[in-house]
């Protein structure tokens, strides 16, 4: 079985993670633009960060046999710096139409301030202008209130639910998200948000229609193998294979294919890996390391 991890922050991960993910069957990933732990203070920092998402990180993933896509947006946690956020909004249209960008996101609420809502609404309008899906970050505090409010605002802007992934759901929110027709994402985090066993229990009760499992692995304690591990546990607990495939592969494919940028053929028929390849003069290798060089036959085996 192959997997898609549709929410993982690989700029915070190592090449060992890419190798482990590829070995576990992860074939494609989506990296949402997000807060990196320390607030950015200059618009140039955003420009460089967005450039890395559509540039080097895409290259780095390919050097380990994984197809990399991303979403572009102003994260809600950083939207409260209004003067800087205004400058970032000028940047976003420049990156939203780059190759491999599959959504506007992750956007929404953090502290649920009026400033966050201002930039949430502006980015919803941008998504409409560029005809991209939207990835919603639901808040860690007052999650139910923030999730419901997010959907209300989306509907005020006339965006169809099938174009929106509401992520970071839990037992308190997922029913309403599904009932209102949205894609319902679950972040599998060790000890918080949503664990593997809780996710399996939800699949058993709710089924997998419009359910999307992801890892959101980042610079904190997190697991880049959360999707294949959840799939394995679900099968061990008797969840039908077709339901597991929906939640861990097919639903993400359907949701983000609406961008016109997310094509299964990209990773089912990959180019052979050649780690001698350079990106702007740089390699994923360090001195003395032996490059991986696939021929067409080995690429087929990996596929």
**Cβ neighbours, 10 Å, residue 232:** 17
Confidence of residue 69 (pLDDT cuts 50, 70, 90): very high
Mean pLDDT value across the chain: 93
Chain segment 166-208, per-residue pLDDT in tens = 999 999 999 999 999 999 999 998 776 678 899 999 999 999 9
Chain segment 97-147, per-residue pLDDT in tens = 999 999 999 999 999 999 999 999 999 999 999 999 999 999 988 999 999
Contact 4, 27 (CB under 8 A): yes
What is the reported pTM? 0.94
What residue ranges define each of the domains in the chain, with the CATH number in brackets?
A: 3-270 (3.20.20.140)
Chain segment 237-276, per-residue pLDDT in tens = 999 999 999 999 999 999 999 999 999 999 999 888 988 9
Residue 165 confidence (pLDDT): 98
Peptide bond into 106 cis (omega under 30): yes
- The string over 289-300, giving b where at least 16 C-beta atoms fall within 10 Å of a residue's C-beta and e elsewhere, is eeebebeeeeee
Nearest 10 degrees: Cα torsion 238, 231, 32, 100: -110
Does residue 48 sit in helix, strand or coil? Answer: helix
Contact 72, 33 (CB under 8 A): yes
Residues 6 or more apart whose CB falls under 8 angstroms from that of 187 comprise 7, 167, 168, 193, 194, 214, 215, 216
Residue 37 confidence (pLDDT): 85
């Amino acid at each position: 079985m192959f997997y898609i991890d549709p929410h993982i922050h690989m700029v915070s991960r190592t090449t060992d993670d890419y190798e482990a993910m590829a070995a576990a069957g992860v074939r494609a990933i989506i990296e949402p633009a997000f807060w990196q732990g320390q607030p950015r203070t200059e618009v140039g920092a955003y420009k460089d960060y967005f450039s890395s998402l559509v540039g080097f990180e895409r290259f780095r993933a390919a050097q380990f046999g994984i197809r990399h896509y991303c979403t572009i947006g102003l994260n809600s946690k950083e939207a409260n710096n209004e003067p800087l956020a205004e400058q970032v909004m000028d940047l976003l249209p420049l990156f939203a139409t780059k190759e491999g960008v599959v959504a506007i996101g992750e956007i929404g609420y953090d502290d649920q301030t009026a400033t966050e809502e201002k930039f949430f609404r502006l980015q919803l309008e941008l998504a409409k202008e560029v005809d991209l899906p939207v990835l919603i970050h639901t808040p860690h505090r007052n999650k139910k209130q923030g999730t419901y409010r997010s959907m209300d605002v989306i509907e005020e802007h006339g965006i169809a639910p099938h174009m929106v992934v509401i992520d970071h759901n839990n037992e308190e929110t997922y029913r309403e998200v599904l009932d209102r027709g949205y894609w319902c994402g679950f972040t599998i985090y060790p000890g918080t948000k949503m664990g593997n066993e809780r996710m399996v229990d939800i699949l058993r009760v709710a089924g997998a229609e419009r359910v999307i499992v992801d890892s959101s692995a980042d610079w904190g304690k997190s697991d880049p193998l959360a999707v294949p591990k959840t799939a394995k546990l679900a099968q061990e607990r008797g969840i039908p294979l077709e339901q597991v495939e929906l939640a861990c592969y097919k639903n993400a494919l359907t949701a983000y294919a609406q961008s016109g940028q997310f094509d299964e053929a990209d990773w089912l028929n990959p180019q052979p890996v050649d780690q001698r390849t350079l990106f702007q003069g740089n390699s994923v290798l360090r001195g003395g390391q032996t490059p991986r060089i696939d021929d067409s036959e080995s690429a087929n085996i990996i596929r």
